[in-house]
Structure 1
Amino acid sequence: MKNNGGNAKVDKAEINRPNWDLVKQALEGKKPLSTLSKDYPN
């Protein structure tokens, strides 16, 4: 409904998948866990 003058839009679905090679290296202790976060530089 647009009774209040608004509008709605559905954006394209975004799929985020981890880099499994980096996950494995972090779990094996070869890379720091911070490499898995976008909050820290890699």
Structure 2
Amino acid sequence: MTLDTQTIIAVAVVLGCAGYLVVKMLRKRPPGGGTCGGCHKG
């Protein structure tokens, strides 16, 4: 299975967005939010 440039770019963009969302979620934990960090902190 060969990967063309468009596929590689699409995968890179998806991984980049996913990583950005994860980092953003881990850094900003809403107090009393649905995340475990918010529950344990509150």
Question: If you compute each CA radius of gyration, which structure gives the higher value, 1 or 2?
Answer: 1
TM, length-normalised to structure 1? 0.26
TM, length-normalised to structure 2? 0.26
Higher helix share: 2
